[in-house]
């Protein structure tokens, strides 16, 4: 997920993050105590005595994944500043342009299960590069669509290109998370936080990059530039990223292969996986249920201009990016994931209550700094809630008899992405519906209440499962 919100400079940022990470990715536990450690992958192994720094193999892998995540984040957001205007210029209603954005999450929701099935068959490294190349080609093609004269044909082609972009990025995210869990068995959350930080940075840079390139060269320039960078990155990854192949380590009593639904049934049979999926869902909705509806509210209630609101988003996204690195390192040293997830969800709910502010906060009146404070608090705690969840899901699956291999890791990655996409689809629809009926403050209050309920469930989970999994 990017964040769920958020290139010469981008390569420099990636290098800086990798140099910083190599000093902090120290192993918190031994191979014998980690159910995933033996599945670290093929090729260069982690030296038991000198694993305080990233190996050359790990640096190449994390560099390729981070750069791809940065570009994928830009892909999601690059058209925000100018596409609605282009659609309106053609006489198309706002509903159509909004649907072009919404179809991205829906297409990802449908694609994630397929990618989870494909990953072990075609190879996660190959799937990642094919997904990146697919997103690059469709992004480039999107820049040519204004040559279509008929408005309905134009919007139809936009839907098709946007859906294919989503399929490509779904392949990328499925493969990337599986690779991180597989190749960074002792510090997966730190590695995940670096990848997610770059994806969040892409979401933050996307609108600015898109708007600037649109002003310089017109509609096609942002898409040609980004699509070209994605294609170059895909080609570079053929050298940069070493192959990550299947290395099967069956858990006790686990069948080698089963029918397509057997793995899903085994996953669903673990009650803890339902809790993890609830966390992923609420984190996705923390963002998508509010952000599409916040602009009309702050414009009317606070007189905040779109440019000022953009600054709010930029500041909060920057806080998310910085905090994610801390959460990743911290979560690698906490065996019971829910000890971190529960307070992050609770504090995030408080941030959401501050944004309108909520009617529950009697005496507080809407003011711009309170809104920005709420957004910052929400963003800073989001990473702590969801970054460690996928690793926890893999550990739960292995403990419940699923094979300890790349196929399981890709499957869990696909489930993680699908649940997040459900939040991205349901969030804007449900948030908009409640806002229309009862107003934005009530919608924010309801969302915070959902977060509190899941946080309470995590507190219970922290107590019940405190000794159920090894560190």
At 5, list the tokens.
Answer: 């919100």
What pLDDT, on a 0 to 100 scale, did the predictor assign at position 428?
85
Question: Has residue 2 been placed in a domain?
Answer: no
At 444, list the tokens.
Answer: 């924010």
What pLDDT, on a 0 to 100 scale, did the predictor assign at position 172?
95
Residue 161's CATH number: 1.20.1250.20
pLDDT level of residue 282 (50, 70, 90 thresholds): very high
Please tell me whether residue 250 adopts helix, strand or coil conformation: coil
Task: Give the count of domains, the chain.
Answer: 1
Question: Has residue 470 been placed in a domain?
Answer: no
- Greater confidence (38 vs 194) lies with 194
Is omega for the bond preceding 141 within 30 degrees of 0, making it cis?
Answer: no
pLDDT level of residue 58 (50, 70, 90 thresholds): confident
Are 135 and 202 in contact by the 8 Å Cβ rule? The answer is no
| pLDDT, mean of residues 224-234 | 95
Question: Has residue 471 been placed in a domain?
Answer: no
Dihedral (Cα; 390, 396, 401, 407), 10-degree rounding = 0
Are 9 and 67 in contact by the 8 Å Cβ rule? The answer is no
Please tell me whether residue 82 adopts helix, strand or coil conformation: coil
**120: closest CA among 293, 229, 246, 288?**
246
Question: Has residue 47 been placed in a domain?
Answer: yes
Question: Has residue 125 been placed in a domain?
Answer: yes
What is the span of the domain harbouring residue 17? 8-464
pLDDT level of residue 246 (50, 70, 90 thresholds): low
What pLDDT, on a 0 to 100 scale, did the predictor assign at position 290?
85
Q: How far apart are the first and last CA of the chain?
A: 25
Residue 323 has pLDDT above 50, yes or no: yes
Residue 90 φ/ψ, nearest 5 degrees: -90, 5
pLDDT level of residue 470 (50, 70, 90 thresholds): low
- Of all residues in the chain, the percent with pLDDT exceeding 70 is 84
Q: pLDDT digit string (tens) for 1-31? A: 444 444 333 334 444 444 444 444 444 333 3
At 462, list the tokens.
Answer: 């922290």
Question: Has residue 383 been placed in a domain?
Answer: yes
Candidate ranges 48-52, 159-163, 405-409; pick with highest mean pLDDT: 159-163
Question: Has residue 1 been placed in a domain?
Answer: no
Could you please report the per-residue DSSP string of 189-247?
A: HHHHHHHHHHHHHHHHHHHHHHHHHHHHH-THHHHHHHHHHHHHHHHHHHHHSPP----
What pLDDT, on a 0 to 100 scale, did the predictor assign at position 469?
64
Residue whose structure tokens are 């829906």:
106
Q: pLDDT digit string (tens) for 92-111? A: 887 787 788 888 989 999 99
| pLDDT, mean of residues 220-230 | 95
What pLDDT, on a 0 to 100 scale, did the predictor assign at position 263?
85
30: left (phi over 0), alpha (psi -120 to 50) or beta: beta
Residue 445 has pLDDT above 70, yes or no: yes
At 122, list the tokens.
Answer: 């075609």
Distance from C-alpha of 357 to C-alpha of 448, rounded to nearest angstrom: 12
| pLDDT, mean of residues 396-411 | 90
Within 10 Å of residue 319's Cβ, how many Cβ atoms? 19
pLDDT level of residue 287 (50, 70, 90 thresholds): confident
What pLDDT, on a 0 to 100 scale, did the predictor assign at position 304?
84
What pLDDT, on a 0 to 100 scale, did the predictor assign at position 199?
86
What pLDDT, on a 0 to 100 scale, did the predictor assign at position 38?
36
Q: pLDDT digit string (tens) for 124-181? A: 989 999 999 999 999 999 999 999 999 999 999 999 999 999 999 999 999 999 999 9
Please tell me whether residue 91 adopts helix, strand or coil conformation: coil
Q: pLDDT digit string (tens) for 408-443? A: 999 999 999 999 999 988 888 888 889 889 999 999
Question: Has residue 3 been placed in a domain?
Answer: no
Residue 47 φ/ψ, nearest 5 degrees: -70, 125
**Sign of the CA dihedral 195, 196, 198, 203?**
positive
At 6, list the tokens.
Answer: 């958020």
């Amino acid at each position: 997920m990017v964040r769920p919100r958020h290139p010469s400079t981008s390569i420099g940022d990636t290098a800086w993050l990798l140099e910083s990470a190599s000093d902090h990715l120290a192993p918190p536990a031994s191979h014998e105590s980690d159910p995933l450690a033996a599945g670290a992958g093929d090729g260069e192994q982690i030296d038991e005595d000198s694993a305080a720094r990233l190996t050359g193999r790990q640096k190449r892998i994390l560099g390729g994944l981070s750069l791809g995540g940065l570009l994928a984040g830009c892909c999601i957001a690059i058209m925000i500043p100018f596409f609605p205007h282009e659609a309106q210029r053609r006489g198309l209603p706002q509903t159509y342009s909004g649907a072009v954005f919404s179809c991205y999450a829906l297409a990802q929701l449908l694609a994630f299960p397929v990618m989870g099935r494909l990953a072990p068959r075609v190879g996660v490294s190959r799937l990642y590069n094919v997904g990146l190349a697919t997103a690059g080609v469709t992004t480039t093609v999107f820049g040519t669509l204004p040559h279509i004269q008929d408005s309905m044909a134009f919007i139809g082609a936009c839907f098709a290109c946007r859906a294919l972009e989503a399929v490509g990025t779904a392949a990328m995210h499925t493969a990337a998370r599986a690779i991180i869990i597989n190749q960074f068995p002792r510090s997966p959350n730190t590695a995940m936080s670096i990848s997610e930080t770059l994806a969040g940075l892409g979401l933050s840079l996307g609108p600015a990059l898109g708007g600037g390139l649109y002003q310089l060269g017109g509609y096609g320039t942002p898409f040609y530039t980004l699509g070209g960078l994605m294609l170059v990155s895909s080609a570079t990854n053929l050298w940069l990223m070493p192959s990550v192949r299947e290395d099967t380590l069956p858990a006790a009593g686990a069948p080698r292969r089963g029918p397509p639904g057997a793995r899903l049934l085994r996953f669903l049979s673990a009650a803890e996986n339902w809790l993890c999926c609830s966390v992923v869902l609420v984190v996705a909705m923390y963002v998508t249920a509010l952000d599409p509806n916040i602009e009309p509210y702050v414009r009317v209630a606070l007189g905040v201009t779109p440019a000022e609101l953009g600054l709010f988003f930029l500041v909060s996204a920057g806080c998310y990016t910085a905090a994610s690195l801390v959460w990743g390192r911290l979560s690698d040293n906490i065996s019971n994931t829910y000890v971190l997830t529960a307070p992050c969800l609770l504090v995030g709910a408080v941030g959401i209550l501050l944004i309108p502010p909520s009617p529950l906060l009697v005496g507080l009146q809407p003011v711009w700094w309170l809104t920005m404070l709420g957004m910052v608090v929400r963003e800073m705690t989001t990473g702590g809630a969801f970054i460690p969840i996928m690793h926890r899901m893999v550990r739960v699956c292995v403990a419940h008899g699923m094979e300890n291999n790349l196929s399981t890791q890709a499957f869990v990655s696909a489930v993680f992405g699908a649940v997040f996409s459900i939040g991205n689809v349901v969030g804007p629809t449900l948030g908009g519906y409640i806002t229309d009926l009862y107003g934005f403050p009530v919608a924010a209050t309801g969302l915070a209440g959902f977060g509190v309920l899941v946080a309470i469930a995590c507190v219970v989970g922290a107590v019940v499962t405190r000794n159920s999994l090894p560190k």
